[in-house]
Amino acid sequence: HVAIRPREFLVDAKKQSKTDENAPNEEDRCTPLVSCPAHLRKTSNSYCRTRTQRQGVLCTTGQNHTDQQDLRGRQHTFHMDSSVLSQLQMKSRSEMTRLRTREAALLASKEPPVLLPGPATYGHFRNSRSFDMHDLSEMMHVANSALQLAIATRAFKDRHGLSNEDLELGMIDGDLRPTQMGQACAPVPFCPLIPDKYRRIDGVCNNILQPSWGGPFTAYSRLLPASYQDGVWAPRTSVVGEEPLPSPRLISASVISDLSSPSPDYTLAVMQFGQFISHDFTQSMDMSFTNGSAISCCAADGASTLPPQSTHYACLPIDIPADDPFFGKFRQRCMNFVRSILAPNNDCSLGYSQQMNKLTHFIDASSVYGSTPEQTSQLRSFRDGKLKVFDDFGRDLLPMSKDPNACLTMEQGSACFESGDTRTNQMITLTVMHTLFLREHNRLARELGQLNPHWDDEKLFLEARQILMAEMQVIIYQEFLPTVLGREAMEEFGVELEPEGKYSLDYNPMVDPSITNEFAAAAFRFGHSAVEGQLKIFGPSKMEEVIAIPELMFYPSRMRHQEFLDEVLSTLTTEPMQDVDGHISEMLTKYTFRGGNPFGVDLAAINIQRGRDHGLRPYNDYRQLIGLPRINDFDEFGPEIGSKLRAVYQSVDDVDLWVGGLLEDKPAGSMLSLTFRDIIADQFARLKKGDRYFFQNDPSINPGHFTPEQLAELRKASLSRIICDNSDKMLLSRQARNAFRKPGVSGNEFFDCRGPEIPRLDLTLWHS
Ligand code: HEM
Ligand SMILES: [Ca+2]
């Protein structure tokens, strides 16, 4: 057979684009390239112009690139008979036993490579970790099974002489669910014949044909096949001689600098709400020892990596060059990095490794309610439909965490909180967002209860949650995305809402709503560039305090100061975010999670390493995917950045997606580069078109549809209204109408929270 590389298909697509001047005017079906890679390869005459005159393709959106059906012109697949299967099973099982034995030996050794609370890198682990034992055991079960599948894939590949391309194209056939190896593949959930009116907490049974789509503990999807050095799990290497790629820390230190460029248009709320919503739909987790303890890949003093005999298989430590301008001062040569937990393929077949998303992929406020029924029960008060709160002298704060390691300190008088997401305390401005939405739920439950005294706790909880999820979707699609993506991309990707009070027929059961790995591990991390390293606190007349943000990481005690929440909200909605570009605050590249230490971890380096860990392809491949020409010379990034890149990378085809996407020239007036913009727009199109419960969906689609009057009412939701209704009202009494835009710019004036200018939802329509 002839191996056809995905790259060649894409090149083919480019050639085609030159000859499609006479393409039929099929605007409505014309989909941006990125949303439809599978079809791109199948037909050569399906090129068209999108509504905004960009090159597109006629297809059903959201076809998964790695779709099993899509064999890209290949003549045959590799089948497994029962004898091969039982051999693979034996082999992978014994390999798993070997790994576990080694792990036990490491734990029993004199200096076990276990990370304890204290250093910054423990904060990194804390960030990714679930401390709930129920979650942990379910996750581990699925993750171990996925690891065993990866081992079996390697064995199969070696035995049958498969190429990396064979794996990229998903050529190994066979659903392994009936076998021991496939026992932890997401079981097909049992869905009732009459669908639930309310979206399930765990997101499953959303798509009738693919009921497990969007559930927690499932794999990310991908825009392009993974790129691993061994085709299965080893991180990719340079296109030049398969040499190792440059150290992520070297790249960070050489090309990413801290230069402040405050945005003239957008507020810090874009940054903070962006992070908050990302915690609704994506969380990958570091692997750990079976007993849950954190893996260390570096010597305790950070001066070297551990010797091979002491190194855990999940280690991928970041090499720090000896002459590092910052970490060199502390004699650090090794930054800890542990690989992400895996999940089986959706179709439970052998193939390259996929990473696990711990959360429901949908926009369903799972950061408020949790992603499993157990988490939700933990958070509910079971009285009057409300969620649990910590009553801090009459102010409702998030409930206190019981986990002794969730924050830097659990001293008397300090605070450490719990919510639907385990990263609640990572950054205090994030804690503030969680607090707002917790209060909003309870406010809705209270009002609904007053209108409907006959509703019980369960009904009140479900109805308040349904409204809150809709508010979240309105704020995202009506306020946040127009700001981040711009009107053109909104139109092109079809992510605009229907006119007020109108239902949507946009649902398409072929669209896989899953978060793409490219979005989670690279594109949506654009936000790290928008972070401002200092939090300014203003009093009634002047600036009172400037706090370096590392002091606010995993240390949310200030939440207990009476005025702090209002002060933070004022800052978030008036102070500028940082422009999205190749500059990142050194608070993130040098001091992330430093706690009491002289240095922290480098978040930029970690992002780069995470991309490689997750098998993301190089930046150039994604340029091509969205219809841009590949870059042939570093200087295309501009002479200055070009020479910096040339000094570290061997080839333009090595550049990591997160790096290229940040450094790429942006169209005038756009917050993001085209590459990031399209990957993000594609994701939000999936989250709308692939979600049967999307709030605007027609009664024929959405079992929990609203009435047209309620729909119109829900459109009044805004971040400013959420802030007005749920702040402490000590210092905060006014808001600009659009919290994401700088007040005073183009008519975005301040209004009193009590006035009609910041619309308020009238809940009387929910009287029954
Ligand atoms: C002070 C602010 C922030 C801090 C300290 C922070 C820190 C982190 C850390 C430690 C990770 C995990 C990195 C890894 O191990 O791969 C992460 C991941 C991520 N961050 Fe941030 N972040 C911040 C703000 C933001 C913002 C503003 C956005 C977006 C607008 C964002 C989007 C993401 C995304 C999408 C991920 C991947 C999550 C996953 O799939 O696991 N972050 N961040
Ligand atoms: Ca979710």
Lowest mean pLDDT among 79-83, 662-666, 705-709: 79-83
Residue in 127, 278, 408, 616 to alter for ligand 1 test, most ligand atoms within 8 A of Cβ: 278
Q: H or E segment at 459?
A: helix 457-474
pLDDT at 40 over 50: no
* Residue 76 pLDDT class (50, 70, 90 cuts): low
Q: Mind listing the pLDDT tens digit for each residue in 117-142? A: 999 999 999 887 765 667 778 888 89
> Regarding beta strands 262-267 and 294-295, do their DSSP bridges make them parallel or antiparallel, or are they unpaired?
unpaired
Rounded to a whole number, what is the distance in angstroms from the first to the last CA of the chain? 65
> Regarding beta strands 30-32 and 47-49, do their DSSP bridges make them parallel or antiparallel, or are they unpaired?
unpaired
> CB of 198 within 8 A of CB of 462?
yes
Q: Mind listing the pLDDT tens digit for each residue in 576-617? A: 999 999 999 999 999 999 999 999 999 999 999 999 999 999
b/e per residue 384-401 (b: at least 16 CB within 10 A): bbbbbbbeeeebbbbbbb
Which residues of 463-542 form beta strands (DSSP E)?
A: 534-538
CA dist., res. 553 & res. 565, Å (int)? 16
Q: Mind listing the pLDDT tens digit for each residue in 655-680? A: 999 999 999 999 999 999 999 999 99
For a pLDDT cut of 90, what percent of the chain falls above it? 77
Query: In the predicted model, what is the mean pLDDT of residues 541-553?
Result: 94
pLDDT score recorded for residue 629: 93
Around ligand 1, the residues with Cβ closer than 6 Å are 124, 127-128, 271, 274-275, 278, 282-284, 426-427, 520, 524-525, 527-528, 530-531, 549, 553, 592, 603, 606, 610
CA dist., res. 364 & res. 430, Å (int)? 18
What is the whole-number distance in angstroms between the Cα of residue 452 and the centre of ligand 2? 28
pLDDT at 46 over 80: no
453: how many CB neighbours lie within 10 A of its CB? 6
Nearest CA to ligand 1 atom 37: 520
> Of the bound ligands, which one is closest to the alpha carbon of residue 588?
1
What is the whole-number distance in angstroms between the Cα of residue 522 and the centre of ligand 1? 10
pLDDT score recorded for residue 73: 53
pLDDT score recorded for residue 752: 95
CA diameter of the chain: 78
What is the whole-number distance in angstroms between the Cα of residue 533 and the centre of ligand 1? 14
Residue-averaged pLDDT of the chain = 90
Respond yes or no on whether ipTM tops 0.95: yes
Q: Is 705 annotated in the active site?
A: no
Reported as half-sphere exposure (CB side, CA atoms, 13 A), residue 556 has a value of: 28
pLDDT at 765 over 90: yes
pLDDT at 643 over 90: yes
* Residue 68 pLDDT class (50, 70, 90 cuts): very low
Binding residues for heme b: 528
CA dist., res. 513 & res. 221, Å (int)? 9
> CB of 617 within 8 A of CB of 205?
no
**Main-chain dihedrals φ then ψ at residue 31, nearest 5 degrees:** -110, 140
> Of the bound ligands, which one is closest to the alpha carbon of residue 368?
2
Q: How far is CA 409 from the centre of its chain?
A: 27
pTM of the model: 0.94
Q: Mind listing the pLDDT tens digit for each residue in 328-351? A: 999 999 999 999 999 998 888 899
Supply the Cα-derived Rg of the chain in whole angstroms.
25
The SS3 assignment for 599 reads: coil
What is the whole-number distance in angstroms between the Cα of residue 525 and the centre of ligand 1? 6
pLDDT at 696 over 80: yes
